[in-house]
Amino acid sequence: MRGGAVPTGATALRPRWSSLPVGVREAVESRLGALVVEARSQDSGFTPGLASRLLLADGRRVFVKAASSETASWVVDAYRRECEVTAGLPAGVHAPRALWTLEHGPWFVAVMEDVEGQHPRRPWQEDELDLVLAMLTENARLLTPPPPGLVVPLLADELATELDLVRRLEPPWRDTCVGLAERMLASPATTVVHTDVRDDNVLLTDSGAVAVDWNFVAAGPAWFDMVSLLVQAHGDGVDADALLAREPLTRDVDPDLVDGVLALLLGYLTWAAAQDHVETSPYLRAHQAWYRDASRSWLSRRRGWSLG
């Protein structure tokens, strides 16, 4: 399953810093207290909002996200949520924090800590994957139980729609997948989980891995993020089952609960990949189709099912 139709690191069609209204740029520079001398758009991911690393005249670097409620209100909501979440994360959690936000007309701007790093290579490399798994383990420890003051929904509530989509799968997959998904959603919600850990939502730095884009967090099982990330690793040819058995976070998890995550992903991605093309995210459906196939492949291998 290696490879695919999605170009790593060049999937998002984002506005550039120079394309923002002059008033928005001037307001940001005024708040920063320095002019922007370089802006580097970050073109991974599938969201059509601005995401740029800015170099300031005084040598500082910041990361800026911005979107307009007139054209992308859901992106504004996601950026607001990320700022709320990162403000409530305990010290030590591997995540960049929002420094401040600004509103100028319909534009919402989040200025965040800049992370000097790069996304993992694809297909996944063993040493880089190990760094990310270590980061997920540490984050799970720090986010169990959910920190006071950080209000997050239950993962079971957030994935209720996905369970409905599992019920639309074709037999003979459907009945077993529904049962697996229901069992998984009944797992204790012990931990704040990211829910969207992929290569494009991770940065590798000199001191380890950092997870970015914390706008879909929920309270769920501590091992959820690791299992969902390993779907991508499996699709890249990695022995994901060996890693499940090795990692302290997953080695004692009931195999049916792992399969429940895969069933939920399969249900959602089977539906999502069949939806209409999205002009502002031209690789989204190909990305979802690749993940659908990776989820089906891993689940069938684990259950001894034929893909024929």
Q: What is the pLDDT of residue 48?
A: 78
Q: What is the pLDDT of residue 308?
A: 60
pLDDT digits (tens, 9 = 90+) for 171-223: 888 999 999 999 999 999 999 999 999 999 999 999 999 999 999 999 999 99
Query: What b/e string do you get for 188-224 counting C-beta neighbours within 10 Å, with b at 16 or more?
Result: ebbbbbbbbbbbbbbbbeeeebbbbbbbbbbbbbbbb
Residue spans of alpha helices (H) in the chain: 22-32, 73-87, 126-142, 155-158, 160-166, 173-185, 224-235, 240-246, 255-272, 284-303
Checking if the pLDDT of 11 tops 90, the result is no
Q: Which of 42-46, 213-217, 231-235, 284-288 has the lowest mean pLDDT?
A: 42-46
The arithmetic mean of pLDDT across residues 99-108, rounded, is 97
pLDDT digits (tens, 9 = 90+) for 62-80: 999 999 999 889 999 999 9
Task: Quote the tokens at residue 204.
Answer: 């590798």
Checking if the pLDDT of 5 tops 80, the result is no
Mean pLDDT of the chain: 94
The arithmetic mean of pLDDT across residues 25-30, rounded, is 98
Checking if the pLDDT of 271 tops 50, the result is yes
Residue indicated by tokens 């002019």: 35
The arithmetic mean of pLDDT across residues 123-147, rounded, is 98
Q: What is the pLDDT of residue 77?
A: 96
d(CA 266, CA 292): 6
pTM for this entry: 0.94
Q: Which domains does the chain have, with CATH numbers?
A: 17-113 (3.30.200.20), 126-303 (3.90.1200.10)
Q: What is the pLDDT of residue 117?
A: 95
Checking if the pLDDT of 10 tops 50, the result is no
Question: Among residues 300, 293, 298, 297, which one has the least CA distance to residue 273?
Answer: 293
User: For residues 192 and 219, is the Cβ–Cβ distance under 8 A?
Assistant: yes
Q: Which of 97-111, 152-166, 282-296 has the lowest mean pLDDT?
A: 282-296
